[in-house]
Structure 1
Amino acid sequence: MDIQGKTALVTGASRGIGRAIAIELAQQGVKRLLLVARDRQKLAQVAGEIKALGVEVVSLPLDLTRPVLINTAIAQAWRDHGPIHLLVNCAGVAHQAPFLHSKLPKVHEEIAINLMGMYTITHPVARRMAKQGEGTIVNVSSLMGKVAAPTMATYSATKFAILGFTQALRGELAEHNIRVMALLPSLTDTDMARDLKLFRWVVPMTSQQVAQVLVNGLRRESAEILVGWQSHLAVWFNRLAPWLLEKILLMAAPLSRERQKRYQKFVGSLNLSAK
C-alpha cells in the first residue's frame, strides 16, 4: 500500500504502539489522520505532535465498547473528512494473573476492548471501504496470538481470536479490493507493558521499531507482519518443537518456582500417559 496522500484511522492512538504508528504514518506522508482513544487529554497531545509535522489530524475521543457512538462517529467522520483508506486497530489492554487468581471484570475488559472493540469499529469502516472499492485494514495482534504463555490466558485468547478474525476477513473482503493484515509485535516497551511482570530473557522492542516494521509491511502488503527476531524464532520453534517452546515459556514465565515444579510434573505425567 502506498500511504502517500491517504487518510488513516488509528485506534489506541493516545499511547504506546498506537501513538508510534500514528506519528510514523504522519512522517511517511499520510495526508490525514483520525485518532481514536478514550483519553481526551493524551489524544490532544498526540494530535499536537502530528499537526507540527504538517499533517491534518482529527481527534475522536471514543470508547470502543459503545457501538452506537462508534457508528455515529464513523458516519460523521466519513462525511466531514472523506473516505478512510487505512484502518489500524491498535487499541488494547492486558491484565496479567495466574488463571486461578484472575478477576472476571478484568477478563471482560480484555475481551470487550481487544476483540469486541476491534469488531465494533471495523464493521462500519469496512462497509464503507467496500462501497468505495478499496481499503486496507491492519489488526494488531501479538506474538501471544501465535504462542500463548502462562499468566496471560485471556490476553492470549483475544490475540489468537484477532488472527482468526483477520484471516476470515481477508478472504471475505478481497472481492471488494480490501486488504486485511495482522501485525504481531513481541514484548514492546510501553506504559502498558511496564505494569506487567516481564518474562525472563525477553528483550523489549520500542514502539517506534514496531511502527517502522508496520509501514514496511504495508508497502510489501504482507498478510502477517511479525516484528523482531524473537517473534520469528518463537514461531519457528512452535512449528518444529512446540513441546520445547512450552517448556521454555514455563521457565521464562513470572511464576513461583513451586508452581513451575508442579506444572512440569503435571506435563510430564501427561506425556507418560500418552506413550
Structure 2
Amino acid sequence: MDMKGKTALVTGASRGIGRAIAIELAKQGASYILLIARNLPKLKEVATEIRAYGAQAIPLSVDLTEAKAVNIVVAQAWNDYGPFDLLVNCAGIASQSNFLQSNLGQARAEISTNLMGLYTVTWLVGRRMASRRRGIIVNVSSLMGKVAAPTMATYSATKFAVVGFTQALRHELAPYDVRVVTLLPSLTDTDMVREFNLFRGLVPLSTEQVAQGLMTGLKSRNVEITIGWQSHLALWVHQFVPQLMDAVIRFTSPAYNRSTPTYPRPRGI
C-alpha cells in the first residue's frame, strides 16, 4: 500500500507497537495520522515526533471501552480529517498470572479493551469505509492469537477472538472492496511486557521491526502478516507437529518453572 497522501487512524498510539506504526506511517508519507489512546500527554509527544516527518498528527484522547465517546470522536474525526484510508487497531492491555490466581476485574478490563474496544472502532469505521467502497483495516492480534500461552490465558483468549473476528470480517467486507488484515507479531519489547516473566529462549522483537513488517505485509497483500522468525517457526510446528509445540510450551513457560501452589476451595463469585 502506498501511504503517500493517505489518512490513517491508529488506536493504542501512545506507546509500543501503536506508536511505532504511527511513526512508520509518517515515514511512508501519510498526510494525516489520527492518534487514539487514553493518555493525551503521551499522544502529544508522539504527534510531535510524527510532525518532524512532515505529516499532520491529530491526538484524540478517548477510552475505547466507552462506546458513546468513541462514536463521537470517530464521527468528528471522519468529518474533519477523513475519509480514512487505513485503520490500525492496536490498542490492548495484558496482565500475567496463573489462571487460578487471576483477577476477574482485570480479565474484564482486558476483554473490554482488546476485544470490545476493537470491535467498536471497527464497526464505526468499517461502515464508513464500506459506504465509499474503499479502505484497509488492520487488526493487531499476536502469536498468542494462534498459539495460546500459559500465564496469559485472558490475553490469549482475546487475541484468538481477534483472529476469528478478522477472518469473518474479511469475507463480509470483500464485496465492498474493504481489505481486512490480521497482524501477528511475536513477543515485542514494549513497556507493557517488561515486567513479565518471559518464556525461556524467546527473543523479543523491537516495535520498529513490527511496524516495518506491517508495511511490507500490506504491500504484498497478505491477509495475515506474521512478524518474526520465531512466529513463523512456532506456527509451522503448531500446525504440523502439535505435540512438539505443547512440549516446547511446557519447557519454556514460566507457568511450569515454579512449584504448584495450593488454592482454597472456591465459594462463588
| Interval containing the TM-score (normalised by the shorter chain) | over 0.9
Partner of 2:169: helix, strand, or coil?
helix
Indicate the residue corresponding to 1:73 in structure 2. Answer: 73
Indicate the residue corresponding to 2:265 in structure 1. Answer: none
1:66-215 mapped onto 2 (5 Å cutoff): 66-215=66-215
Query: Is 1:45 the counterpart of 2:64 in the alignment?
Result: no
Per-residue CA deviation, residues 235-257 of structure 1 (Å, 9 max, x unaligned), is: 00001111111111111111254
Name the aligned partner's letter for residue 243 of structure 2. W
Distance 1:82 1:149, change over 3 A: closer
Partner of 1:96: helix, strand, or coil?
coil
Residue 82 (structure 1) shift:
2.2
Residue 258 (structure 1) shift:
5.6
Per-residue CA deviation, residues 32-64 of structure 1 (Å, 9 max, x unaligned), is: 100000101100100011111110111110100
Per-residue CA deviation, residues 160-190 of structure 1 (Å, 9 max, x unaligned), is: 0000000000000001100000000001000
Per-residue CA deviation, residues 217-266 of structure 1 (Å, 9 max, x unaligned), is: 11111100000100000000001111111111111111254658xxxxxx
1:13-28 mapped onto 2 (5 Å cutoff): 13-28=13-28
Take 1:37 and 1:193, find their aligned partners in 2: how far apart are those partners? 18
Name the aligned partner's letter for residue 247 of structure 2. K
Partner of 1:88: helix, strand, or coil?
strand
- The answer on whether the counterparts of 2:10 and 2:89 sit within 8 Å (CA) in structure 1 is yes
Partner of 1:175: helix, strand, or coil?
helix
Take 1:98 and 1:188, find their aligned partners in 2: how far apart are those partners? 21
CA RMSD, 1 decimal = 1.0
Query: Is 1:57 the counterpart of 2:54 in the alignment?
Result: no
Aligned residues with identical type, % of pairs? 58
Partner of 1:192: helix, strand, or coil?
coil
Residue 137 (structure 1) shift:
0.2
Query: Is 1:249 the counterpart of 2:249 in the alignment?
Result: yes
What are structure 1's unaligned runs of at least 5 residues?
Answer: 261-275
Take 1:132 and 1:184, find their aligned partners in 2: how far apart are those partners? 28
Indicate the residue corresponding to 1:5 in structure 2. Answer: 5
Partner of 2:255: helix, strand, or coil?
coil
Name the aligned partner's letter for residue 37 of structure 1. A
- The answer on whether the counterparts of 2:34 and 2:58 sit within 8 Å (CA) in structure 1 is yes
Distance 1:41 1:258, change over 3 A: closer
Partner of 2:36: helix, strand, or coil?
strand
Per-residue CA deviation, residues 181-207 of structure 1 (Å, 9 max, x unaligned), is: 000000100000102111100001100
Partner of 2:193: helix, strand, or coil?
helix
Partner of 2:58: helix, strand, or coil?
strand
Take 2:95 and 2:182, find their aligned partners in 1: how far apart are those partners? 22
Indicate the residue corresponding to 2:239 in structure 1. Answer: 239
Residue 144 (structure 1) shift:
0.4
Tell me the TM-score normalised to structure 1 length.
0.93
- The answer on whether the counterparts of 2:143 and 2:231 sit within 8 Å (CA) in structure 1 is yes
- The answer on whether the counterparts of 2:250 and 2:256 sit within 8 Å (CA) in structure 1 is no
Indicate the residue corresponding to 1:224 in structure 2. Answer: 224
- The answer on whether the counterparts of 1:149 and 1:250 sit within 8 Å (CA) in structure 2 is no
What are structure 2's unaligned runs of at least 5 residues?
Answer: 261-269
Q: How many residues align?
A: 260
Tell me the TM-score normalised to structure 2 length.
0.95
- The answer on whether the counterparts of 2:115 and 2:161 sit within 8 Å (CA) in structure 1 is yes
Take 2:176 and 2:219, find their aligned partners in 1: how far apart are those partners? 19
Name the aligned partner's letter for residue 171 of structure 2. G
Partner of 2:5: helix, strand, or coil?
coil
Take 1:189 and 1:257, find their aligned partners in 2: how far apart are those partners? 22
